[in-house]
Structure 1
Amino acid sequence: MLGRVLSGVDVVCHQAAVVGHGVDPADAPVYAAHNVYGTAVLLAAMYAAKVRRLVLASSMVVYGEGHYECAAHGVVRPGPRRQADLDAGRFEPLCPVCAVPLEPLPVPEDAPLDPRSSYAASKVAGEHFAEGWARQTGGTVWALRYHNVYGPRMPRDTPYAGVASLFRSALQRGVAPTVLEDGRQRRDFVHVTDVARANALAVVNPPSQGWLVPVNVCSGEPHTVGELAAELAKACGGPAPEIVGGARSTDVRHIVADPARARRLLGFAATVGFAEGIAAFATDPLRESAALR
């Protein structure tokens, strides 16, 4: 089947994946089957069809925690957040040397990969399989590391779809969106139309260096999760969000993107601003979610 589909193709844009960060460890075989084995099957078919260019949908979850700096010790990698700190409402990562709270920085593409869930591990594995394929075949890969994508036709009412969909689904039911931790965790929310444009640029502009070139696909405009919930509640005319504390075992505190490489290598910069995008998302159509199993 793939051989027939790939006949006469110059470049493959691979978007298919099972998504959902930190939902259920029992989902590991599903992620491995679809995101890892499925990608490997595609790469083998591309080799057979002599297709040597791939645009791969990757994710910011490959980074784990974001990029941090200590005033005394420079750029450091924080250790795992302790459950006792989370239970006590102490959410900021600490310097592993002096134990003071760290300052979050934009994460560059050369940051170490540190998957925190089965889904994240499957996205790292997909990048590694794609790079191995490229080295063996002389092919090239753009690994587009999407940050928090939102926009029309997100699936409704599912924890696998991301925080924007969860908030919008709650508001559509007339329920206040619930925000974990203190709501001050920072993310980069990027509109799906900008993500589509990044893919189009990657299709027509092959990498000029390396076998696999990762790039952050982001807005370059960090906001807190609490800001997202409040802005969306206002746009929907719904109840104000509720800050409930707590954190999931796979949650990270801050993960915001450095957009410089995408701008330099792809000519990509996001065009949909946060306020504009969230106002539109308040009335965008959602779709029914597919069952994971």
Structure 2
Amino acid sequence: MTHLPVLSPLLIEEQVRAALIEDLGRAGDITSQATIAPEMTATAELNVRESGVIAGMELAAAAFRLMDPSVRFEALVRDGDRVAADAVLARVSGPARAVLSAERVALNFLMHLSGVATYTAAFADEIAHTNAKVCCTRKTMPGLRALEKYAVRMGGGSSHRYGLDDAILIKDNHIAVSGGVTGAIRAARDFAGHLVKVEVEVTTLEELEEALEAAPDVILLDNMVPELLRRAVEINCDCAGLSEETYFGDPRRVKLEASGNVNLKTIRAIAETGVDYISTSKITMAAPTLDIGLDVVVR
């Protein structure tokens, strides 16, 4: 059974509270104060204008709750759901001032994270016929990394390391400074605990073969064309003494990750070379928002 990820309630409250404080400023929502009497109530719907994958419902709910605990938020979909255009995502009712004051913060989170989830799903759908997984990286908007990585997983993607402290990724600049692929991997092995993964970036097949001798956990194949990626998979298979039939899932082999020039037009060919993971910043840094609005229901 595969369980979907969840966001910590503490993280949700921290993020939403900060966003509300930023929006309300020093005087609060002066438009709602000027035009709406304190005793007035409102009912509204969160409507999605285009098809997509939803992420961020708990953050939207928290925006209304933190503005006024008496606001009722009725979610009609869950994160990870694929929805059609014009679907109603939630109904909100309560003090009108609170509903309208929380509207933008709720929509900002929901539109952005649903956009990330939707764009990720487009990449994941392209390679669903392969064993490869599309991954996000550390290229995220500052302060939103945990939320964006959550949204990627809602869209069917996978997460690379969260930060500099949870895995060792030896890149070209580390290799240049340390003096070579083998030395960098061995130094990382000596430094890391037994639960810390070690990945190394290579740009040529010669560097790949050198890296395989030092046995990292993962090798990142950077900016290689599909022909080279396919050859890299063959070399990895040969070094592990495996046939193609037993290649996937065998713990003796090194996992291979491809990066560079990954987009919706190229990811299928990359995945079909046999790599395990394909990392791209596109799904977090280039995802368009999903068009979602809040409409007051007038009776």
Question: Per the shorter chain, which TM-score range?
Answer: under 0.3
**TM-score of the aligned structures, taking structure 1 as reference length:** 0.24
Greater helix percent: which structure? Answer: 2
**TM-score of the aligned structures, taking structure 2 as reference length:** 0.24
Larger radius of gyration between Structure 1 and Structure 2: 2
